Homo-oligomer: A and B are copies of this chain.
Amino acid sequence: MRVELMQNLLGDNDTVAAENHQLFNANRVLALDFMGSPGSGKTSILERVVRALNDLRIQVIEGDVATANDARRIEEAGAEAFQINTGGACHLNAMMIRQAISQLDLTATDVLLIENVGNLVCPAAFHLGVHHRLIVSSVPEGDDKPEKYPVAFRGCQGVILNKTDLLDNVDFDTERFWSLCRQLQPEAVQFETSCPSGVGIARLCEWLRKQLSAPTTS
């Protein structure tokens, strides 16, 4: 019975996710879901992206268990931010996104960046209707993360290895990390970034701009 309920919940979620996806396409909005552990650097990357793409109309949805700190950081970087506090829930779901976008003007939006709750397990099970799911994994977390959290890495379209400035300070085998990623999801685009210096952000933004021209393909 537990399993059945879970299936129903996921079924409902997938229906709403598909509707969100149609809404994004109808309004020509490119939507991305950023997932990763607490402290992997999701907000720092979004701040950098928002500043770098200041010619685009960007909306950001911030998902957190508590606080509106991340939304404040994004607004300081120059984009509008909508904070969802889940209260205790460990992931965003399609219904939360539906509710948020009903309050945003999608017709005046080019890109919607969604930062999921810091969690490498649960968010992977709940599609939001975005075009691409990107995982942010940071160097100090260790090079074994893909095999320890395979569901998230298997279900993504891109992986951002963040905090590469710490490669000299911790024991991390970059080759091993990317090899594990490829085993789980050979198609995923690979990025390496460092937010203090901004290394790698330009390549990420370039890729993002390319997706803008064909948001309906995935």
Binding site for B on A (CB under 8 A): 2, 5, 9, 37-39, 64-67, 69, 88, 90, 117-122, 125, 138, 140-142, 144-145, 147-151, 163, 165-166, 169-170
Taken together as a complex, chains A and B put the C-alpha atoms of A118 and B38 apart, in Å, by 10
**Using Cβ atoms and an 8 Å threshold, which residues of chain B touch A5?**
5
Taken together as a complex, chains A and B put the C-alpha atoms of A214 and B69 apart, in Å, by 41
Write the chain B residue with the least CB distance to A36.
B38
Contact A144 B90, beta carbon cutoff 8 Å: no
Contact A67 B147, beta carbon cutoff 8 Å: yes
How many identical subunits does the complex contain?
2
A179 to chain B, nearest CB (A): 15
Taken together as a complex, chains A and B put the C-alpha atoms of A46 and B215 apart, in Å, by 46
Taken together as a complex, chains A and B put the C-alpha atoms of A64 and B145 apart, in Å, by 11
**Using Cβ atoms and an 8 Å threshold, which residues of chain B touch A142?**
39
Taken together as a complex, chains A and B put the C-alpha atoms of A122 and B82 apart, in Å, by 24
Taken together as a complex, chains A and B put the C-alpha atoms of A90 and B149 apart, in Å, by 10
A203 to chain B, nearest CB (A): 23
Contact B140 A69, beta carbon cutoff 8 Å: no
A123 to chain B, nearest CB (A): 10
Contact A119 B90, beta carbon cutoff 8 Å: yes
Which of B64, B119, B144, B150 sits near A69, CB closer than 8 Å? B144
**Using Cβ atoms and an 8 Å threshold, which residues of chain B touch A67?**
144, 147-148
30 of the cross-chain contacts (CB-CB < 8 Å) are A2-B9, A37-B37, A37-B38, A37-B141, A38-B141, A38-B145, A38-B148, A38-B149, A39-B141, A64-B148, A65-B148, A65-B149, A65-B150, A66-B150, A67-B147, A88-B121, A88-B151, A90-B90, A90-B119, A118-B120, A118-B121, A118-B149, A119-B120, A119-B121, A121-B122, A140-B140, A165-B169, A166-B169, A166-B170, A169-B169
Q: A5-B5, A90-B121 are in contact. List 9 more A-B contacts (CB 8 A).
A: A38-B120, A38-B148, A64-B148, A67-B144, A69-B148, A88-B121, A118-B121, A119-B121, A140-B163
